[in-house]
Amino acid sequence: MKANITGPRAFVIAPLTGFALFLFTVFLLLGSAQTVRAHSKVVSYSHWKLGLADVSAVFQIQRRDLAGLGFDPLSGQGPDTFQKMLTGSLDVFRGEGACQRAGRVTRTGGENGWLSYRLQFSCPVPGELRLATSLLFNQAPGHLHFASVVDAAGQTHRALFTLSSQTFTLGDREQAPGFFRSVQIGLGHISGGSDHLAFLLGLLLLVHRWRPLLWVVTSFSVGHGLSLALAATGWVPIHALAVEALIAISVFMVGVESLWQIDRESRLLPAFALVGLSLFAFGSAIISGPLDALTALGVTTFFACYLALIYRTTRTAVGCGSSSGLAGRTPPSLHAGFGLAFGLLHGLGFVAALDPLHLRAGGMLPQLAGFNVGIELAQLAAVAALLGIRFGWRASSGDRWAGSARLLCSGLLITLGTCWTVERVFL
């Protein structure tokens, strides 16, 4: 697909139109917090311990997920409404009777973006333990809650709570996800991950031929599959908030490159992008946000070198002084490397949707395999849908509106990347 805006006119029109679209979409998206939010898939964990006459629990969830659902326990504005919700939506039964809550729910933590709540239940009557929870399923139907229960004999049992499965009885067959359930979780995680889908859209905007597209999508898949396996097995430690911020920045980057494809001779857009990225990254370092100074420097340097390499190879392809826009295409190997690098990053963001206790307990292979299959199936479906839209557009309109469509999609990606980065770095 060749854009129909090239040459000196594009030098002015492309950056200014993209910037206008950027501002318009910012105001549009900021009017709806749910539109800006990238993940509708919320994951939480609880750890239960049975005593002779009591049951204790620790509930854990990321603050970012709560804030996205309208709860922010650390905002200092009034009582902790999520704490009240937690109190009323967790029920424990032992034998024929209900256990009584002992004392108040206390909140601890907040480090690295995670919040912990401690609960205690009094269960004087012995008998079979049953847990029931409806927590967050009304606010986030795709919510996954992983629970581990240590019984009086020290044996660990695992359960997965979903919208369709909100109870667990100790002694039942373990509800930790197997292969097919993990496939479903992978499918659902991609469908609720707007940032991942936005990055895929950006990759499709960058590549216009079948063979390079195959290489880019494959390298992206290999990257996130490898990093997911390494992080899930504990070989690569991750900082969840830093990973989420970098994923948002990756959407910003791919949007910038897509817009820049309209006129590679323009240096205005890359300059603005690098200034904006520096403000994102070093602002986080200054306020002790999720990105430290070294990471901030690395991200900015990487993108600067990547843009410089694209500019140099494109000018070499079209000849010095040419302004033929897309005539000098970026080498496919560069885009494949870009897809691989950010595939590694996106794979680290998938780890939260897996049950780490089940992985360590020996269920690693079926769960990882099923989850990856689910992700790949959803990714292939998304790529097929986006390609169908692109080819349908070309069949009906030809190249007449190609430049305008690229401007619109690129401006949307830059705006989404900006909003998500601000949300995850500064809010």
Phi, psi dihedrals of residue 320, rounded to the nearest 5°:
-60, 135
Beta strands in 208-321 (DSSP E): none
Q: Residues 185, 305: contact at Cβ < 8 Å?
A: no
Chain mean position to CA 112: 17
The pLDDT value recorded for residue 324 is 39
| 84 and 220 share one domain | no
Q: Does a structural domain hold residue 182? A: no
CATH number at residue 152: 2.60.40
> In total, how many domains does the chain have?
2
| 262 and 372 share one domain | yes
| Domain endpoint, select from 110, 145, 176 | 176
The pLDDT value recorded for residue 6 is 44
Total-model pTM: 0.73
The pLDDT value recorded for residue 36 is 45
Q: How far is residue 189 from each of residues 41, 229, 366, measured CA to CA in Å?
A: 6, 16, 17
Walk along the chain (427 residues) in steps of 10 and give the mean pLDDT of each run.
43 48 49 45 84 86 78 64 82 85 78 80 82 86 84 82 84 62 78 82 84 87 87 76 86 89 77 85 77 83 87 61 46 84 87 62 70 87 83 67 76 87 79
| 28 and 64 share one domain | no
Pairing of strands 106-109, 114-122: antiparallel
Enclosing domain of residue 395: 7-39+193-426
The pLDDT value recorded for residue 251 is 92
Give the amino acid at 106.
Answer: T
Contacts of 261 (CB under 8 A, 6+ apart): 3, 205, 206, 325, 326, 330, 406
CA–CA distance, 386 with 217 (Å, rounded to integer): 13
